[in-house]
Amino acid sequence: FRTSERKAFKNCQWQWWYVYVEGLQKKGARKGALWFGQGIHLALERWYIPGKERGVDPIVTWLEYCLEASADIRVEDDDGEFLTWMDAKDLGVAMLTHMLETYGDDDEWYILSPEQTVEVLIQHPQRPGEILVRYVGVFDIVARNRKTGLIWLWDHKGLRMDEQVMTPNGLVLNGDLVVGDEVIGSDGK
């Protein structure tokens, strides 16, 4: 399961199956945050194709995605407080425009894989060797820096800058981490 699927699966497994596996939606279903996120991911997946060249302009993909739907998206501040409602199409264009202005000149990145599924096996804390849960997620992009050779795993939503991350030296704010810092993964390593 992806994180976004867990609540749907818990509420109704049949509905989960039809929405997440079959890709079906109720007629006239409300276009909300999940719809919005899927469109942004699609736009970035078509932009960050494997290799050093880029694909379809993400704004073009986003506008095609929005052709048949109009929706308002709730906009919140970093503390989760409501700010305003914004047209989804305009918000997506603004986000993607900012992303291209900030990261668009990315000649050193060689894209290995967009939308790469990952799997983490979480060990049972009292029964060594027994798997408690298999957690599945998706990295938005797996890329190699052509200058340094380092592999990067990108997740566009990521953590807020004021969230704490566990390190070998204790909790550190995400915004205080720098390249090369060690963090502790979900496997405790």
| Residue-wise pLDDT tens digits, 84-140 | 877 888 888 988 998 888 777 788 889 999 888 888 788 888 888 888 877 777 788
Q: 98-119: b or e for each residue (b if 16 or more CB lie within 10 Å)?
A: ebbeeeeeeeebbbbebeeeee
Is the pTM above the cut of 0.85? no
pLDDT, one tens digit per residue, over 47-97 is 999 999 999 999 999 999 888 666 777 777 767 777 787 788 888 898 899
Inter-residue contact 51 to 110 (CB < 8 Å): yes
